[in-house]
Amino acid sequence: MNSDPLRAPRPKLRTSQAAEYAGFSASTFEKLRVTGGGCTYIRIGRVVVYDPDDLDAWLASHKRTSTSTL
């Protein structure tokens, strides 16, 4: 989240922009909204937007050091 009061808020990203930012396809983000497991998002009417800070946190939460499932 934006913990620095001097830093301007980053613009919100539409689905295609957020997917490109994270290295996924827009359809993957759309599927994750239905099935769960994706990044948190904001829905205003029919418009879905993503906060870049939330995308960074979601991506960081998926960092791994091993391919082991343990």
The domain limits of the chain are 13-57
One-character DSSP codes across 8-63: PPPPPEEHHHHHHHHTS-HHHHHHHHHHS-S---EEETTEEEE-HHHHHHHHHTT-
Residue 70 CA to residue 57 CA, distance in Å, equals 22
Give the residue-averaged pLDDT of 3-20: 89
Distances (CA, A) of 50 to 5, 64, 65, 66, 69: 20, 23, 27, 29, 29
* pLDDT on residue 57: 97
53-62 mean pLDDT = 96
Mean pLDDT check: name the lowest of 5-14, 33-42, 45-54. 5-14
